[in-house]
Amino acid sequence: MRLLVSGGLGFIGSNFCRLILTDHKDTAVVNIDKVGVGANPANLRDLENDKRYTFIKGDICDSQLLKKVVKRIDAVVNIAAETHVDRSISDPYVFLQNNTLGTFTLLEALRKHNDKARLVQVSTDEVYGEIPEGAFTEKDAVKPSNPYSASKAAADMFVQAYHKTYGLKTFITRCTNNFGPFQFPEKLIPKTIIRAMRNLPIPVYGSGENVREWIYVLDHCEAILSVLTKGTPGEVYNVSSGNELCNLELVKRILALLDKPEELVSYVEDRPGHDLRYSLNSSRIQTELGWKPRFSFIDALESTVKWYVKNEEWWKPLASEGVLSPTPWKTSDHG
């Protein structure tokens, strides 16, 4: 199989490419990435000489580039996206362009030049909005609360429309918050680790009671592959772990792993449209496709903390002033 991965130099994308190239020797990967915010060529540098791996620096909004590339592939996993909620609030147009228009451009390329290829759209639990209790199923309507989730929800709608209207073989995965190695430093878990290592205040929105469900990135990558190879076209698959924690408890666990005092927690003004709780029911993918998370949250979190401690040379060039500054800084709780 010849697989096109968009956004393969990002956090989830690079972990997914690594999974394919390491464990699936019969698959070649073409990685398109514009190397924007969140992308890092160092994420896959050790695999650059693999003959099954091709990197193309480019934007999925470039229809002429996609025209050339999609003709030679069997499937697409669209992971390219702007993901930082705070950035979407300050500059929503970038999210509309990259997340919505980028997905539309990719769909058009497939419709016109390779309508037999399968497409997995990697989405997010945030499209459903908040849920005070219980968990969203794939049948629930989307109700996004911020420009980031709105741009992803709009992209999902185009994906579903292109399946129904043009018969494209599309699939959507909606996953809870990811964590693990190669995650951009401004995200909640790596930012907390980095600031704690430097004995800097750890910014927490509001009271820290916002609840998120956390999944190790490799579990998510395996779920994407399961949907690509075994899913039913036109369907949505929720991906979750059952590991629900409020942001404050998560930060405290990281501080404990680093043997740092809880006094480092610094409460900051809450952000607009901050959903209180996300939660997904992933029984469908587990029952129909046989996927389930393999990594325990405690072990995966400890492994992630150790990775950032040992890999300062990776994250330091990417860390913004907001990550490294001694001044408390707002952070995103989106994984």
Backbone dihedral angles phi then psi of residue 181, each to the nearest 5 degrees: -70, 155
pLDDT grade, residue 83 (50/70/90)?
A: confident
pLDDT of residue 179: 98
Q: Which residue is catalytic, options 59, 126, 156, 275? A: 126
pLDDT of residue 333: 58
The pLDDT tens digits for 142-170 are: 999 999 999 999 999 999 999 999 999 99
126 assigned to active site: yes
- One domain for residues 193 and 141: no
Domain that holds residue 205: 183-213+244-278+296-324
Contact 103, 155 (CB under 8 A): yes
The pLDDT tens digits for 179-211 are: 999 999 989 999 999 999 999 999 998 889 999
- The percentage of the chain sitting over the pLDDT mark of 70, rounded to a whole number, equals 97
* Residue 328 clears pLDDT 80, i.e. is over it: no
Q: How many CB atoms lie within 10 A of CB 295?
A: 18
- One domain for residues 79 and 202: no
The pLDDT tens digits for 257-315 are: 999 999 999 998 887 878 889 999 999 999 999 999 999 999 999 999 999 999 999 99
Residue 330 covered by a domain: no
Is the four-CA dihedral 322, 324, 328, 334 of positive or negative sign? Answer: positive
- One domain for residues 142 and 196: no
pLDDT of residue 321: 72
- One domain for residues 25 and 152: yes
Helix (H, G, I), strand (E, B) or coil at 118: strand
Mean pLDDT, the chain, whole residue set: 94
- One domain for residues 223 and 271: no
The average pLDDT across 131-136 equals: 94
The residues facing 6 across adjacent strands are: 32, 78
pLDDT grade, residue 332 (50/70/90)?
A: low
Residue 284 covered by a domain: no
- The percentage of the chain sitting over the pLDDT mark of 90, rounded to a whole number, equals 87
Domain count, the chain: 2
CA proximity to 223, closest of 122, 127, 126, 153: 122
Distance separating alpha carbons of residues 110 and 108, to the nearest angstrom: 5
pLDDT of residue 276: 85
Bridge-based pairing state of the strands 28-33 and 75-78: unpaired
Contact 125, 176 (CB under 8 A): yes
- One domain for residues 225 and 265: no
- One domain for residues 95 and 235: yes
Is the four-CA dihedral 138, 140, 143, 145 of positive or negative sign? Answer: negative
133 assigned to active site: no
125 assigned to active site: yes
- One domain for residues 115 and 205: no
- One domain for residues 191 and 127: no
pLDDT of residue 30: 98
pLDDT of residue 273: 73
CATH number for 221: 3.40.50.720
Contact 44, 90 (CB under 8 A): no
Q: Which residue is catalytic, options 33, 59, 82, 125? A: 125
Contact 32, 142 (CB under 8 A): no
pLDDT of residue 85: 85
Q: Which residue is catalytic, options 148, 205, 216, 308? A: 148
- One domain for residues 152 and 126: yes
Q: Which residues of 215-253 are buried (b: 16+ CB within 10 A; e: fewer)?
A: bbbbbbbbbbbbbbeebeebbbbbbbbebbbbbbebbbb
289: left (phi over 0), alpha (psi -120 to 50) or beta: alpha
- One domain for residues 94 and 200: no
- One domain for residues 147 and 222: yes
